[in-house]
Amino acid sequence: MTTTHTGAPVPIVRLEDLHKRFGDNEVLRGIDLEIQRGEVVAIIGPSGSGKSTLLRCLNRLEEPSRGSVAINGTELTGNRRELARMRRQVGMVFQHFNLFPHMTALGNVMEGPRTVLGLRREEAERRARELLARVGLEDKADERPGTLSGGQRQRVGIARALAMNPDLVLFDEVTSALDPERVAEVLRVMKSLADDGMTMVIVTHEMNFARRVASRVVFLDEGRVVEDGTPEQIFAGAREPRTRRFLNQLE
């Protein structure tokens, strides 16, 4: 494990005074957050509170307006080589799949390892088949996304993110676009990753899932971290009225 000169582990994510504005709209208003290896962090909060923007700043799909983002101890500055390295370390699964429609499930999972990691075809295919099996889709390897259900597509998306062997995987409301009966199969795969020790940041409205699976829950409101604690602390004893109001609305 990487450590600092004081012997403390280097956090996988360190955000300091992160701000993001779109024109006059200040969406992130000074976020400080450290995430350690092995943590499963659920980010919850009202629609528009900045959850997606926060995730997108983490892997620099958005450029912060102020403050710093460090991944594995390296501050992201926009340097292209560093960005490329960071993108290999940080996987992302989106709400709307973002699979290549013309490729099979297997092709989608092999693509990153082939083009970015430079794996030979046989090696990339072997790994991709293992990962498809891991998400319960070994028999769908040759299907294209168009013939898969939403839940199956989302599981291909997870396998594709894992194929890069990331240190950290970001999930942005990956079950929100799914039919209710498809949600559980995706959450089950995510829980198994968490059980295996994967470091995960999960933006979700599935409060039962957050309660069961997260090691830590962060409540974001109007671009600020209002609360940060264990699931027990947040769900049973939220200190802030805003958090309690948000949780009560969901019930």
Q: d(Cα 59, Cα 102) in Å, to the nearest integer? A: 26
What type of residue is 187? L
Assess 50 for contact with ligand ADP (CB under 6 A). Answer: yes
Which residue, 6 or 47, is less far from Mg ion as judged by CB? 47
Which residue, 52 or 243, is less far from ligand ADP as judged by CB? 52
Residue that is written with structure tokens 């999972």 in the block: 109
Assess 53 for contact with Mg ion (CB under 5 A). Answer: no
Assess 48 for contact with ligand ADP (CB under 6 A). Answer: yes
Q: d(Cα 26, Cα 30) in Å, to the nearest integer? A: 10
List, in sequence order, the alpha helices (H) in 2-148. Answer: 51-58, 80-89, 105-115, 121-134
Q: d(Cα 248, Cα 251) in Å, to the nearest integer? A: 5
Assess 53 for contact with ligand ADP (CB under 6 A). Answer: yes
Assess 25 for contact with ligand ADP (CB under 6 A). Answer: yes
Tell me which of Mg ion, ligand ADP, none is bound by residue 22, counting a contact when its beta carbon lies within the kind-specific cut-off of 5 to 8 angstroms.
ligand ADP
From the list 41-49, 79-87, 147-155, 225-233, the region that binds ligand ADP by CB under 6 A is 41-49
Q: How far is the CB of 81 from ligand ADP (least distance, A)?
A: 26
- DSSP letter (8 states) at residue 232: I
Q: d(Cα 93, Cα 102) in Å, to the nearest integer? A: 19
Q: How far is the CB of 227 from ligand ADP (least distance, A)?
A: 15
* Residues within the interface to ligand ADP (CB under 6 A): 22, 25, 27, 45, 47-53
